[in-house]
Structure 1
Amino acid sequence: MNDFVINLPIGDWFTAVVTFMQTHFELFFSIVSTVISFVADNLTAFFNWLPAPVVFIALAFLALWRVGWQFMVFVLIALYVVMGMDLWPETMDTLGLVLAATLAALGVGLPLGVLMAKSDVVQAIVRPILDFMQTLPAFVYLIPAVIFFGTGRVPGVIATVIFSMPPVVRLMNIGIRYVPTENVEAGKAFGCNGFQLLWRVELPLALPSIMAGINQTIMLALSMVVIASMIGAGGLGDPVLAGIQQLRLGTGFQGGLGVVILAIILDRLTQSFGNRQRGDGFFSRLKKTFSGDNQQSGST
């Protein structure tokens, strides 16, 4: 039986590729590390600099405006619970890391999704890569991140970007591809060029799909940032990791509860931007909130 087995040293091949990249792309990795470090460090510093009452007011206002008064009450109570557990700095660190990773993922993923929608060849090439990225265990992403960038926030953010990017690419592609043909033809009839057609017709009609992709990217980024605490990313992953390593059930549960609270707030807020009608302005939304027309939106 063993005579018919061909040895495939895939691990050795991967090691050779990594070694080659370390040798010949050192400048590239240095630039990426500098940019990611600048964005992540400044975002986390900014959120930690903001006074807690300002964060309370800002998130409560967004919750009232985008979802409803019920969700605003939940946000205020949830943030108070986070402060009561003495996890406010860790929560702000996680928020900054998630936003940094999400911005990087969207910066790469949205244009790539447009290219996939416009070219069947690009879609045929990129789709298997996205399948691979989504099925590879999350912990595996930490290995090359540590090899290329060491430990700390930067490799944590980079691993998070790679892990969380596929949904926004896929849903951007699907959203544009399934824009009704009659709308596209109408845009062409009015003299739209390719860019105008994309900006004025396809993207607005694909907005629900795009926002669903952004929502999923944020959720995956949040989950991966917690895992990235294993390589020194910090944030709410630290108490969770401490709970696992030291068998401190209460510490781990508190960290996990903080993650859940942040996930719910970000999830509901990003969902609201995809569910609203495009012509629904700020004052009309606020009026609906107080008149009760927004009650159904706030209870879903």
Structure 2
Amino acid sequence: MIQESYHTRLDNIFSKCSAVKAGTVALIGGAGVLFAVGITTAALLPGDLSISNSSIAFDTGAFATVGDSTSITGSSFSAKVGGADTATGFDKTGPLGPGTNPIPGNFTDTGDGFGITVNAQTSHNDLTADPSPSPNDSTLFSLGVDMGFDISNTSGVDTYDVVIKWMFDSSVTASGLDAYSNSEFDLSVGSSNVFTDITADTLLGNEFDGNLITDPSPSDPTDPYIYGGTVTDADTLLFTLALAPGDMFSIIGAYSLDGEAFEGSTSASFSSFLSIDSVTKHGAAAIPEPTTMLLFGVGLAGLTAVQRRKNRS
């Protein structure tokens, strides 16, 4: 049980709940939670919607790699602002310093958003030669990323339904006597909290959303769990924020990746994109114009005169 004392899991910053699955929209607002099919139409955001504090950055002190066999390749932060795509790459040396925000500005269009792509791997094979290793006899990769933005409705009369889309694809693999990877993303959209959390672990067992994965046909009925191999999770989730005049919501995401090899190899790949999918405006109730009221009054007077004639006859 050497590995157990070295497993470092970043604490979740949100309460965990069941995710809204693909093809649905969770409506978040005073009316409660409703579900409907989402429709995407690219357009300039209304002037009444204010986007602020758009950012994505590494956690301070959360980026670490140990060992020559450890590599981080094909990895980047990405953003779409005003329909224009940008990307900032990083590798095991972590060229982006903690707190560095590569997003060029706040979002202005539907479809705008940000994402992260990570590919990491490591291996280590000293336990076979040294059955009593020191705590440094391992290789590892670890990183944490925070991202988010605020959206406000500055209108005095109009309500907006803003659909937020989150797409992700996550995979972890572990092999050998003692190796593991854990990939976790926690997302808070208004009052709704969702997550993906997968682990491949050759010693302690694989996990999906915090639960050990069981083998439907275990070779040992007393130990029905799966150890090592590949664990995956992927989905597209839609959330609708109902912004009444003066409302403000925060969209916050936190990603953590943690992998270590004592005797064996492990790898992880993760891609995610969080964006403003669509906006629907709901105006204030129409107020009758003076001409409409005049015609209504004339009609009402006519009906009254007709009724009086009937009464006399």
TM-score (norm 1): 0.25
Q: Give 1 or 2: higher strand fraction.
A: 2
Q: Which structure has more RCO (C-alpha within 8 Å, separation ≥ 6)? A: 2
TM-score (norm 2): 0.24
